[in-house]
């Protein structure tokens, strides 16, 4: 079964401010989410995929 997180848990995990998550949702960008009534939930898999897709590889020396 897929694990879902609320916006506070995502904020703690990603270190994104709650206002950033909320602004991203209102602008139609950021981490994909599910909304049921007033409850907003993020799939842990989607959070991890979003973070991974923004990873910048550097050359280690």
* Segment 40-52, tens digit of pLDDT: 999 999 999 999 9
Residue 13: name the closest of 39, 44, 53, 40 by CA.
44
pTM (two decimals):
0.87
* Segment 9-40, tens digit of pLDDT: 999 999 999 999 999 999 999 999 999 999 99
Residues in the chain: 61
Q: Mind spelling out the 3-state secondary structure of 6-30?
A: CHHHHHHHHCCCHHHHHHHHHHCCC
- Which DSSP category does 50 fall into? H
């Amino acid at each position: 079964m897929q694990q879902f997180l609320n916006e506070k848990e995502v904020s703690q995990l990603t270190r994104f401010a709650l206002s950033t998550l909320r602004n991203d949702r209102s602008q139609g960008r950021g981490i994909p989410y599910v909304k049921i009534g007033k409850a907003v939930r993020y799939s842990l898999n989607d959070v991890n995929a979003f973070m991974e897709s923004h990873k910048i590889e550097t050359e280690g020396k």
